[in-house]
Amino acid sequence: MHRWDVALKNAETSGASSRTARQDGLSAGIEASRQMAKTDLPRVRQYLQRFYAIATKYEIPPAILAAIASRESRCGNVPPLTKAGYGDGGNGFGIMQVDRNYHKQAGLGGDPASEAHIDQAAKIYSDFRQNIISRFPKWSESNFLKGAAVAYNAGPDTVQTIRNMDKGSTGNDYGSDVIARAQFYADRMQSLGDCLKLDSGEDIELFSSNLLPKTNRDIEKILLTIEEPIKIVDCDDEILSAICAGLQKVNLLEPKQVLDSDGQRLRRAWAKFKKRHFQKYPSTIGRGSAQLLVKEIRARSTGLESTSLVSGNNYTLTPIVEERNGALSASSVASRTGESVLRSITLVLDDSVGRGGRNLPHDIIKVKQRLKELGFSWFRPSNKTYDPSLENPICLFQSIINGSTKLGGDGRIDVEGKTHQWLRAANAPKWIEMPIEGQGFINYERIDKSDDHDFGTSWLSETIVAAGLHYEQNHRRGNPSIAPIPINDVSLIHGGNTPDHYGHECGNACDIYLPRKGGGYSLPNWKNDQYDRDAARAILNALRAQPLVRKDRIFFNDSVLIKESLCTSELSHHHHIHFEIGVPDPTF
CA–CA dist 382, 250 (Å, integer): 31
Cβ burial 524-555 (10 Å sphere, 16+ → b, else e) = eebeeeebbeebbbbbbbbbbebebbbeebbb
- Determine the straight-line distance between the first and last CA of the chain, rounded to whole angstroms: 54
515: β partners: 521
Q: What gap in Å lies between CA 435 and CA 283, rounded to an integer? A: 30
Name residues whose C-beta falls within 8 Å of residue 159's C-beta, 6 or more positions apart in sequence: 132, 135, 147, 150, 151, 165
Q: What are phi and psi of 515, to 5 degrees?
A: -75, 140
Distance, in Å, from the CA atom of 31 to the CA atom of 13, rounded to the nearest integer, reads 11
CA 448 to chain centroid, in Å, comes to 20
By the 8 A CB rule, do 151 and 159 touch? yes
Which residues carry out catalysis?
72
Distances (CA, A) of 96 to 8, 78, 204: 19, 12, 23
Cα–Cα dist 113/95, whole Å: 6
* Euclidean distance between CA atoms 530 and 523, whole angstroms: 8
DSSP string of 35-64?
HHHHHHHHHHHTTHHHHHHHHHHHT--HHH
What's the CA gap between 510 and 581, in Å, rounded?
A: 9
Give strand ranges (E) for 357-443. Answer: 412-413, 431-433, 437-438, 441-443
